[in-house]
Structure 1
């Protein structure tokens, strides 16, 4: 981390650090968990089930830089040498953190926690529990096959978008994507995914963005494909696709519409993009690296 980035990290972390110092005086043996924003909605239940702390305290931070800033602030203060602390960050389109930090800081092996919700395995669990479909049910296989097909089409549609954004981040371009909805670029229907943008549209939307060569875009595309697009593509786009797919599928299930269902399947589930992380947390993937990290936090 550069000196400028380290300074920015510490500035973002000051408020959280002040709250931590107040709590630490009262609960010195608690497990203090530092997350990006509201990521505890995913991690919380896993911390309780795997680490099983006597007391855990969750401290949301304003982004990855703030979490890393807190880590640095505690690292260099001898008074907090014995604090039980856990740090959770998303990889995003950044380079992975150094191996020496991995034992102390948990970094997602994919873009973000949202990608843990968009695997075929996660969707299969949702179908079994929320749709009450048995694995032997024809409707289960129809839905899994449809999701697999549409996710592939979706990835084809947003590959250029993801590669372009990743390249801009590599160049430290000052583009703001936090509130960017993927539905601005694609239409998601159960019969097909429709692309609604060109690269010229991206430059129109972000006129300050530097021009990229075709070679840069192709190289980035190859990097993202090598990891697995469901894991390497921007998580908020991925989970938007999931929510739209599931909501449309629920509508078809409740009506029993062919060819998606051979009978009515009553599904009372209602999904909001604001609450989907907590609503579907029990079904999301728990990768081995996270399980091992949380196990390492358990008291002997």
Structure 2
């Protein structure tokens, strides 16, 4: 077993990634060292094409969770000998408070996560044009865009309670140090959302949430209502959990494809495109990366770290 393989089996992922970075520097590599969340490289599909606009020499390093990226950043910052290397750190905001200005060397998404860059009306228009082949003057383009707006609004109303509840757990964790007691999947819990092209509705309440997640931190009714009101102020496709937003997009697209080949209720035109099996979150991030939004602050950040 090599030294690097031994490191990868270590428990502390931030230490592992830090040591990987150190090994790179010992080989006198010249380029941008990119530190990402995750362990599978799912964020790479979004960030790497945008990084390559500014540099062709880059080294992706996976840190684990958001906190691990910050830990790696802090570890490297302790050693002035690494100041000469170009480095970039990328994290999702999730339901956390924004980073402080002094943490400007880390890029934090202005929305919940990178998946939120994929679900705006603008991105959906790009998918209609480039994947489905419907120009903006076609009847299908207008029809499907109107459907998307309606169903997305309904989806947000249906998932608001669950987002607010989970946001309360994160706030309690950050303020009191209590673990959430919850591990979420890419999709909302089974049965929570009734999903069709005709309508989307909620099929759960707070008692059902508690029964599904019995180990979750207790959330008061007052705090939950405050969080609902707080989240309702913003563009929901930006502040709601990104993986659920991506779930909506992929599920909606799959229903459109199915309708175009079988029921033909909304259009007689068959969509000449197929995803094969159901799209996972990671696959959708890769497939639609070229059409996802790129915020100005990301461009500014990449310019600064590659200068």
Structures share fold, TM-score greater than 0.5: yes
SS at structure 2 position matched to 1:275: helix
Deviates more, 1:149-158 or 1:270-279: 270-279
| Cα offset, 1:140, TM superposition | 0.2
Aligned equivalent of 2:222: 215
With over 3 angstroms needed to count, the CA separation of the structure-2 counterparts of 1:283 and 1:204, relative to structure 1, is same
Deviations 1:188-239 (A, max 9, x none): 2111113221100111122233433332112112222223111110011111
Query: CA shift at 1:255, angstroms?
Result: 4.6
Q: Tell me if structure 1 keeps the 8 A contact 2:114–2:242.
A: yes
* CA offsets 1:21-50 (integer angstroms, 9 cap, x no match): 11112244210000001211110101002x
CA, structure 1 residues 22+211, in 2 after alignment: closer, same or farther (shift >3 Å)? closer
Q: Which runs of 5+ in 2 are unaligned?
A: 1-10, 174-178
Aligned 8 A contact 2:182 2:216 in 1: no
**Is 1:178 aligned with 2:184?**
yes
SS in 2 for 1:226: coil
Judge conservation of contact 2:32–2:306 (CA < 8 Å) in 1: no
Q: Check conservation: 1:256, 1:264, Cα contact below 8 A.
A: no
Q: 1:87 to 1:150 in 2, by over 3 A?
A: same
CA–CA separation in structure 2 for the residues paired with 1:236 and 1:211: 24
TM-score if structure 1 supplies the norm length? 0.90
Give the Cα separation in 2 of the matches to 1:212 and 1:55.
47
Distance (Å, rounded) in 1 between the aligned partners of 2:17 and 2:28: 16
Kindly indicate whether the alpha-carbon contact (under 8 Å) linking 2:186 and 2:247 is maintained by their aligned counterparts in 1. no
Conserved 8 A contact 2:182-2:215: no
- The residue that corresponds to 1:43 in the other structure is 47
SS of match in other structure, 2:248: helix
Instruction: For residue 171 of structure 1, report the CA deviation from its aligned partner.
Output: 1.3
| SS across alignment from 1:33 | strand
Q: Residues 136 and 211 of structure 1: is their aligned pair in 2 closer, same or farther, counting only changes over 3 Å?
A: same
Partner of 2:122: 121
- Extract unaligned runs of 5+ from structure 1: 1-9
Deviations 1:238-292 (A, max 9, x none): 111111101111222345813x224233223445114111111111111111111
Q: Distance in 2 between matches of 1:289 and 1:247?
A: 32
Please, what is the CA RMSD of the aligned residues?
A: 1.8
Equivalent residue for 1:4? none
1:161 matched to which residue of 2? 162
Partner of 2:302: 294
Counterparts of 2:20 and 2:180, CA distance in 1: 31
Q: Distance in 2 between matches of 1:197 and 1:268?
A: 32
Cα distance in 1, alignment partners of residues 182 and 222 from structure 2: 24
Which of 51, 56, 59 is matched with 2:58 structurally?
Answer: 56
Q: Are the equivalent residues in 2 in contact too, given 1:253–1:266 (CA < 8 A)? A: no
SS of the counterpart of 2:89? Answer: strand
Alpha-carbon separation, structure 2, partners of 1:141 and 1:134: 9
Aligned to 1:111: 112
CA contact (8 A) 1:254 1:266 kept: no
**Counterparts of 2:200 and 2:181, CA distance in 1:** 26
